[in-house]
Homo-oligomer: A and B are copies of this chain.
Amino acid sequence: MVEKYNKNNKVSLSQVAGAAGVSKMTASRVIRGEGGYSEKTRDLVMQQVDRLGYLPNRLATVFAGDKSSTFIGVSIPDLGNEVFAHVLEGIDHKLGSFGHQTVLGLTQHTETAEEDWIRTVLSWQPAGLILTGRFHSPRSMEMLRNASLPVVEIWDLNSSPLDMSVGINHFDAGFDMGRFLVGCGYRNIGYVGTSHDTANAATTRLAGFVKAVTAGGGAVTKQLCLHDTAAYYPGYYGTEQLLTSTPTLDCIFFQNDAMAFGGMQFCAGKGLDVPGDIGIAGWGDLPIAAVLPKRLTSMHVPHLKLGQAAAEMMMSRLSGEPVHPTRDIGFQLIPGSTVRSQGLS
């Protein structure tokens, strides 16, 4: 809490009322356009509003009316990952169009940072929270239950959410990719990811992936889990590590497209042909995947739509409409041309 930069400089309702020669209540009614006043009175009040540059104090409104605010707390792991930037953009636009505001929290993929942020943001009486991921610390869970406000868990679809959830089933998405790569004839596959990404979604994905590969008679020979962000350069040096330790791999699955692109650059630098010498698959279908010389094999997830859906569920809940507590936003495999054609194995 900080001393006001320039206190007493704010115009209050009673100042407006005083200047207009009416009571606070009348001024309030006029400003809210609630009716119950004459045109003459309205003009008097609005004239003073303009003259004094009155801006309503919404804190007081929330306070007075036992309402909740129009804040929606949104926790995002990090913005270095393009995926979450898009999700956040989708959320903020949709919330904005409903007159709500995003209070951001970057959690660095840690439950403790999320917990601290939840505690703080709850103390500001938000209308609801949108949280990335479905794993939260016990204390976070307790606070959320106590606060009993709408919560949307996004990204990783939670079939038994705290309140609501929207996202995709990462296990299934990983499984589909695994089955696809096995179908392309790959049997000796590597994985490069990070310990971030709200770790659990990527981990779940990997689990589904491994299951499908194994079931198809292949093996995920080597899994690399970097302590870094899921971006280009980690993809580059991760690939280097992977191929140095296990040069026999016939395919690499990356945590996302940015990393996959880094991996492709490493391969290109080493003179490895993709997909001739090694197959490459990414995840997320980021914009970059579409302008590469070869279409990157990836998994499309509608990020912007996911964010919008989360905001929509929140708004529906707040307006009292019935909301289905879970929504699967779906994914779509992009075969691309950075892996061998299916059936040519």
Any B CB within 8 A of the CB of A79 = yes
Q: Which of these, B60, B96, B318, contacts A5 with CB under 8 Å?
A: B318
Contact yes or no, A104 B106, CB < 8 A: no
A70 at the interface (CB under 8 A from B): yes
17 A-B pairs (CB sep. < 8 Å): A1-B62, A2-B70, A5-B150, A9-B147, A58-B125, A69-B124, A71-B103, A71-B124, A79-B79, A88-B104, A92-B104, A103-B103, A232-B288, A261-B291, A262-B291, A268-B293, A288-B288
A residues with CB within 8 A of B: 1-11, 53, 55-63, 65-71, 74, 78-80, 82, 85-86, 88-89, 92-93, 96, 99, 101-106, 117, 119-125, 127-128, 142-143, 146-150, 231-233, 235-236, 258, 261-262, 265, 268-269, 287-288, 290-293, 317-320
> Considering only CB atoms, which chain B residue lies closest to A319 in the complex?
B2
Cα A156 to Cα B115 with chains together (Å): 35
Closest Cβ neighbor of A265 among chain B residues: B291
A7 CA / B125 CA spacing, docked (Å): 11
A75 CB → nearest B CB, Å: 11
CB distance from A227 to the nearest CB of B (A): 17
Q: Are A101 and B124 in contact (CB under 8 A)?
A: yes
Contact A6 B149 (CB under 8 A): yes
- Bound complex: CA of A266 vs CA of B146, how far in Å? 55
CB nearest neighbor in B for A236:
B291
Question: In the complex, are the beta carbons of A148 and B68 less than 8 A apart?
Answer: no
Query: A1 contacts which chain B residues (CB < 8 A)?
Result: 58, 61-62, 65, 67, 69-70
Q: Are A5 and B128 neighbours in the complex by a CB distance under 8 Å?
A: yes
